[in-house]
Structure 1
Amino acid sequence: MKETFFKWLNTALMWNLFFVLLCFGWFAIALIGQAAKVPLGLNLWLSLWTPVMQPALGILMAGALISGASSWIIKRLSPTE
């Protein structure tokens, strides 16, 4: 059962990582557009920063810490041969 849980957790974290990278790409393109005075959604990105992107980053960081710590604990508790 724990293998299934970790499989789903890692899959969810992978999709969250892709979402965060997509948001970063959007931010980079919007900044370039802002410098060129072309509206590419920087104001929309800034309005979504707090309610959408910050929780996504927090979930990604917390999930990575939980996944790493739990795999370390499982490795320490498993009998070595």
Structure 2
Amino acid sequence: MITKISNLINNLLTANVFFVILSFGWFIIAIVGKYTHIPMGLMVWQSLWQPLFLPAISILMGGAILSGTISYISKSLNSQ
């Protein structure tokens, strides 16, 4: 049971990592666009920061802590 939960969390975290990386890429492209005076969606990115990107980053950090904790508990239970 713990293994299935751990695998599910790891799969969700993997998808979340790619989402955060793509979001960061969009941010970098939008910043470059702003300084070259080409609209690349910086205002849209900023409007999505609070409702979308900030929770994704928070879930990533919390999930990493949870995954590490579950792994530690699982290893402790298996060694006994």
Unmatched tracts of structure 1, length 5 or more: none
Task: Give the match for residue 18 of structure 1.
Answer: 18
Q: CA deviation at 1:76?
A: 2.1
TM-score of the aligned structures, taking structure 1 as reference length: 0.93
Q: Secondary structure at the match of 2:23?
A: helix
Greater relative CO, 1 or 2 (CA 8 Å, sep 6+): 2
Q: Distance in 2 between matches of 1:33 and 1:76?
A: 51
Of all paired residues, the percent bearing the same amino acid is 45
- For 2:63, the aligned partner's letter is G
Question: Where has structure 1 moved over 3 Å in runs of 4 or more?
Answer: none
Matched positions, count = 80
The Cα of 1:75 is off from its aligned counterpart by: 1.2
Is 2:13–2:63's contact at 8 Å kept on the other side of the alignment? yes
- Partner residue, 2:35: 35
For residues 50 and 21 of structure 1, the distance between their equivalents in structure 2, rounded to whole angstroms, comes to 17
> Could you tell me which residue of structure 2 aligns to residue 51 of structure 1?
51
CA distance in 1, matches of 2:58, 2:28: 20
